[in-house]
A = this chain, B = another copy of it.
Amino acid sequence: MTDKYAQLVNQGLGKNVAKKLGLPQPAVLRRYEPGQPLVTGPVVVLGETAAADKLAAELLSWDLDVRRHAVPREKLGAIILVLDEVAHPRDLEKPVLAAAGSLRDLGPCARVVTVSRPSGETDTPAAAAARQGVDGFLRSLAKELRAGATGNGILLDGGVEAASPSVLAALRFFLSGRSAYVDGQFLTVSSAAGSLPDDVERPLAGKVAVVTGAARGIGAQIARTLHRDGATLVLVDLPAAGDHLAAVANAVKGTALQLDITREDAGQRILEHAVQRHGRLDIMVHNAGITRDKLLANMDHGRWSSVININISAQLRINEALLASEHFGPAPRIVSVASTSGIAGNRGQTNYAASKGGVMGMVRATSSLVAAAGGTINAVAPGFIETEMTERIPFALREVARRANSLQQGGKPADVAETIAFLASDAAGGINGEVLRVCGQNMVGA
């Protein structure tokens, strides 16, 4: 679970040697801790639209140092590039070149965030070209940024305005250390729903959250992060993992539920436990998942069906039970863990990629059902995350997989957990049916 190479090339002699040899020097990412400033320096808001004015005013109200024009040679914490009114590809040049002029002033782990609108079939061809141009631009720029800086985009869908709660929440997420390993990605805000928290450091206060596969690894970290953000936790895992599960439950002052999630009545049992022990259920995190890798030529019934049953069929059945219940909500949140393997496929993982592709299809198709209940469903798609599981990958293969992303390193379970905590919050109520990759802009071949 430690990236010894990254440690080596970031200190003392190793740092000098790596630099001289031109070896990758993955930056130490700035990760969120309570009390940490949102950004590391002044924020420049570029763009001459009403949305840019609104966002700049909002950032001022967050006590940030806000500039509408860059001051030469001042170390910046972030550049926000507001492109919501581009109607023709030629409109991109002015704001883009303004941003270009400030790139060298970005400090370590700085942020570039674009705010624009998604291109669609009903746009004029010129507007669609300009909007989709932002996509190619931002993904290229994210590959150029160095020293732990990232680039991500917020897409205002339909009539959503820049000052909508989920736009502000997404902006805060992308600026903060919570999004350390999210890079080169776009997140669509499709409604003005959602409400900002009273306490930004405890956005999940008063919520009851269930996490499956919580005994270890990413699941255990999700529990810790949701607890830190104020939630009361129900930790679910197999009876065989009982000791680990109890330890996690103790650490986060939650309750443990030993349960095989593939049982017919798993959803009912989760509901019963949450309501009986904690009086409610607000957040369902589908984290439990397994791999049974094998080339398809050698695939068998056991490997295929166990992966499909646990990784997707169980989620479908549990969601159905939750959505039929009056105890789920009033603003329910479902967050599923997908995978970049489900987006791009992966050699040896036809079963796993089918199940994780399935999760993403399920999330999109379930979004209108959850919206009808006043809630949202979204997925995160982790790339290479440093866990006990990836620790077992042979060294050379692991090294390649670790570095094949714009941040030249694997992510941490906390990076996945932070993204889930964000999507589970009330403030993310305008984000529904989306998949957000947590992968350092992994070169996965989608």
User: Which A positions have Cβ atoms within 8 angstroms of B?
Assistant: 88-90, 92-93, 96-97, 99-100, 103-104, 119-144, 184, 295-301, 304-305, 308-309, 312-313, 316, 319-320, 341-350, 352-362, 364-369, 404-406, 433, 441-446
Contacts and interface: CB of A to CB of B under 8 A. Distances in A.
B144 A184 contact: no
A139 to B, nearest CB: 3
Contacts of A184: 345, 445
Interface core residue of A96, A122, A125, A441 (most chain B CB under 10 Å): A125
A341 B282 CA distance: 41
A105 to B, nearest CB: 10
A357 B103 contact: no
A159 to B, nearest CB: 18
Contact of A357 (B123, B132, B406): B132
Given A127-B365, A443-B445, A444-B446, 10 more contacts: A93-B308, A96-B304, A99-B296, A100-B296, A100-B297, A128-B364, A129-B361, A132-B361, A139-B353, A442-B445
Contacts of A96: 296, 299, 304, 350, 354
Contacts of A356: 136
A144 B138 CA distance: 31
29 contacts: A88-B316, A89-B355, A92-B308, A93-B304, A93-B305, A119-B361, A119-B364, A122-B368, A125-B316, A125-B319, A129-B361, A132-B361, A132-B364, A133-B308, A133-B358, A136-B341, A136-B342, A136-B345, A136-B353, A136-B354, A139-B446, A140-B296, A140-B341, A140-B349, A143-B346, A405-B445, A441-B445, A442-B445, A444-B446
Nearest to A127: B365
Nearest to A128: B365
Contact of A137 (B138, B350, B406): B350
Contacts of A362: 125-126, 128-129, 132
Contact of A301 (B97, B130, B132, B442): B97
A373 to B, nearest CB: 14
Query: Top 9 nearest A-B pairs by Cβ distance?
Result: A132-B361, A139-B345, A136-B357, A136-B353, A128-B365, A140-B345, A129-B358, A119-B361, A128-B361
A316 B319 CA distance: 45
B121 A350 contact: no
B140 A100 contact: no
Nearest to A123: B365
A325 B213 CA distance: 61
B355 A125 contact: no
Contacts of A90: 305, 308-309, 313
A409 to B, nearest CB: 15
Given A140-B350, A347-B143, A358-B133, A121 B316 contact: no
Contacts of A365: 119-125, 127-129
A304 to B, nearest CB: 5
A308 B300 CA distance: 51
A296 B141 contact: yes
B97 A316 contact: no
A133 B345 contact: no
A437 to B, nearest CB: 10
B364 A137 contact: no
Given A136-B342, A357-B134, A89 B308 contact: yes
B347 A133 contact: no
